[in-house]
Amino acid sequence: MIVYADGGFREKDEAFYPLEERGVLFADGVYEVVRYDRGRPFEMDAHVRRLRASLAGIGLPWPGVEAAASLSDELVRRNGLPDARVYWQVTRSAAGGPGKRSFVHPEKPEPAITMIAYPAEPLDPAAPVEAGEAVIVEDVRWHRCGIKSLMLLPASMAKTEAKRRGAVEALFERAKPGAAGTHITEGSSTNAFAVIGGVLRTHPADGWVLAGVTRAVLLEAARSAALAVEERAFTRAELLAASEAFACSTTQVTALTSVEGTPIGGGKAGEVTRRLAAAYVRRVL
């Protein structure tokens, strides 16, 4: 497997981080995951835009950020992978390496770019929508979830908890300052949608959730199909009474057939979910 690391393409076994790499010590970096199907990247511009915004959010300059797209394409080509998920990571380094462990950023930071292309199954347009159960956990993440940061410990713990309880996703719930009660924000690695009173709802992309690329594609598909759509947070009670719910990310749309043991929509993928999942597949292929 060829990866991109330390300024060049190399065999994965030959790529190493310095011991004091800030991505490891401080989770001081951001990332993206881009899907490739039949050799083509999906929504590349949106990923580059979001990477730029994440980098701005942590104050790490990468003036040549557009190069991420061509590095990624080249990586996929070198690995001969028509269907792939490419992980991009940009951490804060400095000329000559990150330097000794310090909470203070290096004076002249430089982005350290790493990319890994993981093979993926070809997308099958005839396959049924993925489905699974969800649990709800407290959203203990920081308040800047619009930044796709490497600080994934809460997400990883939440997903592990979901798996332990036989679920495919953990939905985060939090009390937001200034808002009454608690709301569902998003999944541990997905955006969450629900059909409530005939309206497709998802949390606004206001920094309490990641502005998912898939989320935007599905919202557009829903609006152009003239579905009633609202970017408005929903509560646990609204979700448990929803007629449909699903989670989405670059990897897939997943119907949530039950939440905390309560069946949603009769325990099957609903009509809106299936229509949007189909629209997504059409956009991708």
Fill in the amino acid letter for 231: E
Interaction between residue 139 and ligand PDD (CB under 6 A): no
Closer of 243 and 251 to ligand PDD (Cβ): 251
Q: What's the distance, Cα to Cα, between the start and end of the chain in Å?
A: 25
Q: What is the dihedral of CA 245, 282, 79, 98, to 10 degrees?
A: -50
Q: How far is the CB of 145 from ligand PDD (least distance, A)?
A: 7
Site for ligand PDD in 164-203 (CB under 6 A): 186, 189-191
Binding mask 219-258 for ligand PDD (x = CB under 6 A): ------------------------------xxx-------
- Annotated active-site residue 100? The verdict is no
Nearer to ligand PDD, 93 or 149 (CB): 149
Q: Does 33 contact ligand PDD by CB under 6 A? A: yes
Which region, judged by CB under 6 A, interacts with ligand PDD, from 2-10, 91-99, 205-213, 221-229? Answer: 205-213
Q: How far is the CB of 215 from ligand PDD (least distance, A)?
A: 6
Find the farthest-apart pair of alpha carbons in the chain and give their distance in angstroms, rounded: 58
Which pair of structure tokens corresponds to residue 285?
Answer: 């292929």
Identified binder of ligand PDD from the candidate list 195, 205, 210, 219, rule CB under 6 A: 210
170: tokens are 């953990």
d(C-alpha 164, C-alpha 168), whole Å: 10
CA dist 44 and 274 (Å) reads: 25
Looking at beta carbons, which residue is closest to ligand PDD? 212
* Among positions 167, 170, 184, 213, the unique one binding ligand PDD when judged by CB under 6 A: 213
Q: CB neighbours of 52 closer than 8 A, spacing ≥ 6? A: 62, 65
Place of tokens 């330390």: 6
> Residue 241: left (phi > 0), alpha (psi -120 to 50), or beta?
alpha
When computed from its CA atoms, the radius of gyration of the chain, rounded to whole angstroms, is 19
One residue of 109, 212, 265, 270 binding ligand PDD per CB under 6 A:
212
Q: Which of 12, 148, 159, 163 is catalytic?
A: 148
Cβ neighbours of residue 176 closer than 8 Å, sequence gap 6 or more: 183, 208
Q: Closest distance between ligand PDD and the C-beta of residue 172, in Å?
A: 8
CB of 113 to ligand PDD, least distance (A): 17
Decide: 194 and 234 in contact? Cβ < 8 Å.
yes
Binding site for ligand PDD (CB under 6 A): 33, 186, 189-191, 210, 212-215, 249-251
Catalytic residues: 148
